[in-house]
Chains A and B, each alone.
Chain A
Amino acid sequence: DVKVTQSSRYLVKRTGEKVFLECVQDMDHENMFWYRQDPGLGLRLIYFSYDVKMKEKGDIPEGYSVSREKKERFSLILESASTNQTSMYLCASSPTGFITEAFFGQGTRLTVV
C-alpha cells in the first residue's frame, strides 16, 4: 500500500514562530503536493514539486516556502506563522504517468494562537 505520512496530526504554534510540516512517501513518487483545506474554500494548492529540489507555486504560496532535498520527503515551512494560517494541511504524492492518482497523508490540523 502507498503510504504518505505527515509528521503531526495536530499542532499548536504561536504567532511569529517558524513552523515545519513534514511529509514522507514510501512509493518513490516523483510528484508531491501541499494543500490547505478550509471550510467553504475546498483544497487549495500551496506548492508542489515534480522532482528533487524542484518546486512550483500553487494558487496560494504567500507566507509559505517548501523544501525537497530527498525524493521521499517534502516539507512545508511557515516562515512566520500567523493566525490566518490556522487550517488543515494535507500532503499528497503521485507518480508521473497517464493516470496519476494522488495519495494523501492523514492531514495536520495546525492552530496558530
Chain B
Amino acid sequence: QKEVEQNSGPLSVPEGAIASLNCTYSDRGSQSFFWYRQYSGKSPELIMFIYSNGDKEDGRFTAQLNKASQYVSLLIRDSQPSDSATYLCAPLNYKYIFGTGTRLKVLA
C-alpha cells in the first residue's frame, strides 16, 4: 500500500464551481499535511498546511483533515481557470513523500 494515494484525474469542473480534491494515507502516525500546487512545466509550490482535525480556510481554499478516516481533502471554492494545475498532498514527515497528484481542469 502506498503511503499517500490520490486519484490522478483529470478532475474537470466548470468555472465558479467547487473543486474537491482528496488524499488518503496509510500511516496513522501522520499528524500534519501539506498541499502543493504544480502548474504545467513548473515546480510545486506550497498552498496549504493543516495539522489538526477539522477545517482550515485560506481565501478560496479549505483543507480538511479527518484522522480517524485517514484522509485529507482540499476544497477550492469559486474555481477559476487559473486554478487548473496538479495538486499534490504530502504528510509531514522527514522523508517528504508526495502523493501522485490530482490534475484539476477548470473549464471556462
Contact surface of A with B, Cβ cutoff 8 Å: 31, 33, 35, 40-43, 45, 48, 50, 56, 58-59, 90, 92, 94, 99-102, 104-107
The answer to whether A45 touches B43, judged by C-beta atoms less than 8 angstroms apart, is no
The answer to whether A31 touches B97, judged by C-beta atoms less than 8 angstroms apart, is no
Contact surface of B with A, Cβ cutoff 8 Å: 6, 8, 32, 34, 36, 43-46, 49, 51, 88, 90, 92, 94-101
Having A31-B94, A35-B98, A104-B45, one finds 10 other A-B pairs with CB under 8 Å, namely A40-B8, A41-B100, A42-B100, A43-B101, A48-B95, A102-B36, A102-B46, A102-B96, A104-B43, A105-B43
The answer to whether A94 touches B96, judged by C-beta atoms less than 8 angstroms apart, is yes
The answer to whether A42 touches B98, judged by C-beta atoms less than 8 angstroms apart, is yes
Can you name 29 A-B pairs with beta carbons within 8 Å? Answer: A31-B94, A33-B96, A35-B98, A40-B8, A42-B88, A42-B99, A42-B100, A43-B44, A43-B88, A43-B98, A45-B98, A48-B95, A48-B96, A56-B95, A58-B95, A59-B97, A90-B44, A99-B49, A100-B92, A100-B96, A101-B34, A101-B46, A101-B49, A102-B34, A102-B44, A102-B46, A104-B44, A106-B43, A107-B43
